[in-house]
Amino acid sequence: MTDLLAIRGLTYKRNFKVILRDINCHVESGQTIGLLGANGAGKTTLMRLIAGSAPHFLGSISVDGATQLVARKAAVSFSEQTNGLPLNLRVDRAVAAWAAWYPDFDREQFELVAQFMDIDHHARLGSLSKGNLKKVVIALSLARRAKLYLLDEPFDGIDSMTRKKIIAAIIQWKPFDATLLISDHHVGDIANILDRVMIIEGRELVANEEADDIRATGKSIEEYFEDVHAGRVQHD
């Protein structure tokens, strides 16, 4: 398989503070990866850097061979991009805006995901509950025909029924050869859909392991994450 995402020597500073230090990783196409770390560890920042929405960093990031900011933006579907939508917009207007902004937006795909998740097309974004807004964000993100999907904390503050629904949608609609990076500050429900687990701790990428390799040691992903967090796992 080919490397869909390659990050080399990535260091990012803001206001003279180091946010991420010397991140190195390769990700194959078709994989689903959990990006884990405590709140404030730098997960969202890493996603912004990959998606091309944060410039001025050291090192290199390439997505499907593209290193230029603009090319990366086009290849990546990032859930945070929906933050730019005005909250007084109705869902169907948001969909139209998305279709106009992103040439790879697949309306049919959106309708399938929307129907599966019971999305109300006439509600205004600002009137939706937290869970229903997340559903719209997931549907918009998954409906782009991208090589790489970045979902930032899709389960934050979401009830377990909605979480299951979102996970089912991800399994069903992620294109087979596309790569998906999901960040979460606790592993819980997503553990079963992950091929690989990456953990950010203290501004560094401290673990990058295959999920079933972790389980083969008799540890659950959750326990592994806790052990890394507590410094009980040795890494290079």
Partner 1 sequence: MEFNAKIPIYYQIEQYIIREVITGHFDAGAQLPSVRELAPQLAVNVNTVQRAVAELVTTGLIVPQRGKGNFVTTNMEVIVNLRARIVKEQVATLYERLNALKITPSEMEFYLHQYIQEQEATNND
Question: What minimum distance in Å lies between the beta carbon of 139 and partner 1?
Answer: 16
Phi-psi region of 62 (alpha: psi -120 to 50; beta: other; left: phi over 0): beta
For 172, the 3-state DSSP assignment is helix
157 with 186: CB under 8 angstroms? no
| Closer by beta carbon to partner 1, 104 or else 213 | 213
Question: What minimum distance in Å lies between the beta carbon of 224 and partner 1?
Answer: 10
Question: What minimum distance in Å lies between the beta carbon of 186 and partner 1?
Answer: 13
**In 143-227, where do the E strands start and end?**
148-152, 179-184, 196-201, 204-210
Question: What minimum distance in Å lies between the beta carbon of 85 and partner 1?
Answer: 29
Sheet of 204-210, strands arranged across: 76-78, 148-152, 179-184, 32-36, 196-201, 204-210
Question: What minimum distance in Å lies between the beta carbon of 38 and partner 1?
Answer: 21
| Closer by beta carbon to partner 1, 156 or else 222 | 222
| Closer by beta carbon to partner 1, 92 or else 195 | 195
| Closer by beta carbon to partner 1, 78 or else 224 | 224
| Closer by beta carbon to partner 1, 96 or else 112 | 112
| Closer by beta carbon to partner 1, 10 or else 170 | 170
Pairing, β 32-36 against β 179-184: parallel
Question: What minimum distance in Å lies between the beta carbon of 171 and partner 1?
Answer: 5
**In the complex, which residues of this chain contact partner 1 (CB under 8 A)?**
30-32, 164, 167-168, 171-172, 174, 176, 191-195, 211-213, 215-216, 218-223
Closest CA to 191 of 32, 13, 48, 21: 32
In degrees and rounded to multiples of 5, residue 54 shows phi and psi of: -130, 110
Name 199's Cβ contacts closer than 8 Å, sequence gap at least 6. 36, 37, 205, 206, 207, 208, 225, 228, 229
